[in-house]
A and B are shown apart, each in its own frame.
Chain A
Amino acid sequence: DIQMTQSPSSVSGSVGDRVTITCRASQDISSWLAWYQQKPGKAPKLLLYGASTLQSGVPSRFSGRGSGTDFTLTINSLQSEDFATYYCQQADSFPLTFGGGTKVEIK
C-alpha cells in the first residue's frame, strides 16, 4: 500500500497569513494526488486534484504543487472559513489511501 505522510500535523495562523502543508507519498504517484478540506462534523470536500487543478467553485487562494512523491498545498491569505483539517489522498493505485491530516488552527 502507498503510505501518505502529511506534515505538520497542525499549524496555526492568523487571517491573512500564508500556510503551506506538505504531503509525501511512499512511492512515485506522478500527479495522482488530491487535497480535501474537512470541517468538524462534515464530510471532506474536494479542493484540488491532479496535484494542482482547482475543483470548480474553490477559491483561487488555494493552490497545489508537486509530482512524484512530494506535494504541497498552499493557502494564500487565510480566511476565517479556511480553519479546518486538510487531507491528501493518492489515486495512483489501490487501495486508495489518505494522509493523516493537517489541522489549520487560529493563532
Chain B
Amino acid sequence: QVQLQQSGPGLVKPSQTLSLTCAISGDSVSSNSAAWNWIRQSPSRGLEWLGRTYYDSKWYFNYAEFVKSRITINPDTSKNHFSLQLKSVTPEDTAVYYCAKVTASWFDSWGQGFLVTVSS
C-alpha cells in the first residue's frame, strides 16, 4: 500500500519560496504507471490541482496555468520523493497542500495534508 508523507515549513513569509516534500513508500517515484501531483485546498478557492510529474523514459512535467510561472516540481529518485517549490508567495497561497498519486487518471493515494500559512 502506497503511503505519502509530507514535510516542510508551515509558515512562509510573503515574497519567499514555499517548499514541501512528499516522501513515497510502497511505490517508486520513477514508476512508469503513476504520476505524482500537488494539490491545494483553501476555503476561498476549494481544491486546486497545481501540477504533476511522471516518468516515461524521461521525466515529464505539467503545471496549472495560474501558477506556471512560479512552480517547480522535482522528483528525487535517490530519496524516492518529490518536492514542490512555489516562488513569490502571497497570502492568497495560504492553503492546505496535498501530494497525491495518480494511477490510471485518478487520485488514489494522498498525503496527510500540510497547512502552509503565508504571513509576515
B106 adjacent to A49 (CB under 8 Å) = yes
In the complex formed, the residue of B with least CB distance to A98 is: B47
The contact of A43 among B48, B62, B64, B98, by CB within 8 Å, is B98
Which residues of chain A come closer than 8 Å to B100, judged between CB atoms?
43
B46 within 8 A of A: yes
The contact of B110 among A43, A49, A55, A89, by CB within 8 Å, is: A43
Shortest Cβ distance from residue B42 to the other chain A in the assembled complex, whole angstroms: 12
Distance between Cα atoms of A97 and B105 in the complex (Å): 12
Q: Chain B nearest CB: distance from A4 CB in Å?
A: 10
Q: Write the nearest CB–CB distance from B51 to chain A, whole angstroms.
A: 9
- A43 and B112 in contact (CB under 8 A), knowing A34-B106, A91-B106, A95-B65? yes
On chain B, the residues within 8 Å of A95 by CB distance are 49, 64-65
Q: List the B side residues contacting A44 at CB < 8 Å.
A: 47, 98, 107, 110
Residues of A within 8 A of B46 (CB): 98, 100-101
A34 touches B49 (CB 8 A): no
Residues of A close to B75: CB separation below 8 A: none
Residue from A46, A49, A96 whose CB has the most chain B CB atoms within 10 Å: A96
Q: Of the candidates A32, A42, A94, A98, which one forms a contact with B113 in the assembled complex, judged by CB atoms under 8 Å apart?
A: A42
Provide the main secondary structure of the chain B interface. Answer: strand
Q: State the CA gap A101–B113 with chains docked (Å).
A: 18
> Contact size class for A?
20 to 34
User: How many of chain B's residues touch chain A, expressed as a range?
Assistant: 10 to 19
Asked if B47 contacts A34 (CB within 8 A), the reply is: no
- B22 to nearest A CB, angstroms? 12
* Cβ A43 vs Cβ B49 within 8 A: no
Which residues from chain B contact A100 at a C-beta distance below 8 Å?
46
Residues of A with C-beta under 8 A to B111: 43
Residues of A near B108 (CB, < 8 A) are 46, 55
Q: Which of A50-107 contact B (CB under 8 A)?
A: 55, 87, 89, 91, 94-98, 100-101
Residue contact A49 to B105, C-beta cutoff 8 Å: yes
With A43-B110, A43-B112, A55-B108 already in contact, 20 other A-B pairs whose C-beta atoms are closer than 8 Å: A34-B107, A41-B113, A42-B113, A43-B113, A44-B47, A44-B110, A45-B110, A46-B106, A46-B108, A49-B106, A87-B47, A89-B107, A91-B105, A95-B65, A98-B46, A98-B47, A98-B48, A100-B46, A101-B46, A101-B47
